[in-house]
Structure 1
Amino acid sequence: MSARIFALDLPFELISQIFVACLPLRRRVRPHRRRAPLNLASICSQWRAIAIATPELWASVYLEFHDIVAYDGIQTLLGFTEPGPLQEPFQDNTAALIHLWFTRAAGHTLSISLICTKNHRLPCDVLEAIEAFFPQWGRIELGIPMADFIAFNRIAGPFPSLRSLSIQVTDRLHPFHGFHIQSIFQSPQLQALQLRDKNSAHTFPNNPTAIPRTLTAFQIGLSSLTQLADLLGHLPRLSHLDLGTSYGAPLDGPSLSVSLDTLLVTNDRWLNGLIIPTRKHLDVWPSVETSLLTFLVHSQCHLTTLSLGYPSIYSTQPCCPIAWPRSLSFERCRSIFPTMVVSA
């Protein structure tokens, strides 16, 4: 007599909710037969039926394209019961994988990440595959060469559901100048925007006044307080700002009092010109600790998170400041030591 499996007695709706809870927290799902949702669909016929009938499981995909085949779950996805070696190169199946994956999403808003490593392009027909679902795009993240970006930009839209857009052109400096980027200007709900070149420098086509006024989160490189004042005046809803690649010395005007929840800066000289009492999250690479302290006291803010960045050349981790005035309040302080990466 076979043992009873109580998990199979749970209601359909409860099993479906449990399956969704197995997805990555940020919903960047990398297809693999040992990870959700593909592993869930391979346990038994009942679980497979539930997984296929749960559209939230198929609303996100994260694909990287390089020399190494990274996805061995395609047999399970396409209905084979015994995963084994692919009969054809994975690249030949990518468009079919994407189309079937998002067909199972059944109209839900989609999260799509397509990342190419250096000197690689997207496989044939991948852009055509995602174009078929453009009304459902909710988040788009691309790391692609210029040729693929030009092809992507031919998708005219409109994109009624797109809220987050990140594009890095992996083989050009200042790649967006002169381009009317359809996925920006045809997205009435766009809230978060990041545009980068091959060195990961934040960039933007033409003039910043063309930035959609709907943005709440933005990454950009600026060189002066005047530029920042113009940007903030144009974006009334902005609450999260990343000035990570702004290396200039913004000493060209009076201090700005602005309303932001999150500020990320690499050059801490920006702190000399800003007053942000509403700020909850600060990420900064301090060159002089006293300038950071002066800024925090002056702003009189309540920080939830303070992140201090230091180059990896430091042999020991600096201590989080514990002797700051009681008027400063923050719940968590962390020091970060990124590995230095030198572009070829």
Structure 2
Amino acid sequence: MQLVEQKNKIIQSMTFHKGLVSSLWRLPTEILSQIFHLCLPEDKYLSPSSKQAPMLLTTICRPWREVVVGTPSLWCRLNVEPSGRDWEKADWEKAVVFYHSWLKRARGIPLSVAFKCWNSSEQRSLLLPYVKQISSLAIRIYHGSGNPEDLLKDLPRLPALQELVVRAPIFTPRMSKSISRLPSTMRSLDVSELPPFDIERLAWFNHVWVHLTNVKIFISHPDALLHLLRLCPNLSSLTVHTSFYDAKILEPLTHANIQSLSFLNHSGDIGCLTGLFNALSLPNLRVFELQHKAKNQWPHEVSLAFLARSRCSLESLIISGRVMMTEVQRAEYIALSPSLNIFVVRRSQHFS
């Protein structure tokens, strides 16, 4: 009797799952595609793996494979990160065939591609067939990476490029020449992991700044930061790594379009930002963040004066790292902007 009951339960379970699978098969392709998008990793650039979507979905059944392979937007993000052995000629040629098959499935839609650059000339050959599709490109260059100029020199040939991330231990005028010739489609530039920029280095990109709305950068001096703001009239989001060591008096500057401003201060004294706060007015600011590694009191008087002078409708004030704010200070900010949310984060992931 017990065996009969177990058999009936197994039959019921099989019937239920067959019905479920049958229902999934009957879903329109558009619905399945949307479901498959929800299965993708949240990473901006996907590292191919047979254990995660979209590749995993191609192994479930033939109908699913047809939908996955036939949905270009599942294949428009790629992180090219071969293992050390893949740079041997035979293995790299095999890897290139795989990467091409991935990118071809995107069928002409905009691509987001990341390279960890060890052998730039080989990666350049992979990049060239897709120059008209690439809208987002991230390049991390390592010491001994062959000749990184080979990869960077094709940047002016990317007519659809909107976002560029370059991370490198050194940055030469020759490397910057390619970035200075970027197309007017560019909107976002992340050079926060390059050596610090001064006014002279900012001049390397003079023809690029005017189009940008989002910048992440390491600035060596407050004068250079104010100069950057003058070069970027359309800027709406700015993340600045700073290592200032003085609080000199600066010429006042108003920037009408910045909505989000983040400072990641690497110097020991938070007071070095005083001169900058005293000079700036940002009437459209909505999000203001300060991260500081060393233990310091929040620069309350100058920051409160900065916000009052800007007359902005600040929505979020974010304090990260080891900066301290008192309850009385918090109340004064709320009085200045009643809808303000203040977040105190006792960590500093950007300094790791």
Q: TM-score scaled to structure 2, two decimals?
A: 0.76
1:82 equivalent in structure 2:
none
For residue 320 of structure 2, the aligned residue among 287, 309, 325 is 309
CA pair 17-250 structure 1, distance change in 2 beyond 3 A: same
Letter in 1 for 2:348: P
CA contact (8 A) 1:251 1:273 kept: no
2: CA distance between counterparts of 1:130 and 1:55? 18
- Superposed CA deviations along residues 195-249 of structure 1, whole A, max 9, x for unmatched, are 2556x64674654534342111123344555544443333221111222135253
1:333 equivalent in structure 2:
343
1:1-344 matches, cutoff 5 A? 3-4=18-19, 5=21, 6-25=23-42, 27-65=44-82, 91=92, 93-115=94-116, 121-122=118-119, 125-145=122-142, 147-155=146-154, 157-170=156-169, 172=170, 175-196=171-192, 201=196, 204=201, 206-223=203-220, 226-249=223-246, 251-259=248-256, 260-267=258-265, 268-269=273-274, 270-285=276-291, 287-289=296-298, 290=300, 291-310=302-321, 322-325=330-333, 326-328=335-337, 329-338=339-348
- Superposed CA deviations along residues 54-101 of structure 1, whole A, max 9, x for unmatched, are 0000000124456699xxxxxxxxxxxxxxxxxx99655332222111
CA pair 318-65 structure 1, distance change in 2 beyond 3 A: farther
Letter in 2 for 1:147: G
Letter in 1 for 2:260: T
CA contact (8 A) 2:41 2:52 kept: no
Q: Gapped runs of 5+ residues in structure 2?
A: 1-13, 266-272
Higher helix share: 2
Report the CA distance between 1:282 and its aligned residue: 1.3
2: CA distance between counterparts of 1:149 and 1:284? 33
CA pair 292-335 structure 1, distance change in 2 beyond 3 A: farther
Q: Tell me the SS of whatever aligns to 2:108.
A: coil
CA pair 115-330 structure 1, distance change in 2 beyond 3 A: farther
1: CA distance between counterparts of 2:126 and 2:99? 6
Count of residues in Structure 1 that have an aligned counterpart in Structure 2 = 312
2:7 equivalent in structure 1:
none
Q: Tell me the SS of whatever aligns to 1:302.
A: coil
Q: Gapped runs of 5+ residues in structure 1?
A: 70-87
Report the CA distance between 1:135 and its aligned residue: 0.9
Please tell me whether Structure 1 or Structure 2 has the larger radius of gyration of its CA atoms: 2
- Superposed CA deviations along residues 105-137 of structure 1, whole A, max 9, x for unmatched, are 000100011235xxxx14873321122101111
Q: Report the identity percentage.
A: 21
2: CA distance between counterparts of 1:186 and 1:254? 31
CA RMSD of aligned residues (A): 3.3
CA pair 319-29 structure 1, distance change in 2 beyond 3 A: farther
CA contact (8 A) 2:191 2:218 kept: no
Letter in 1 for 2:285: R
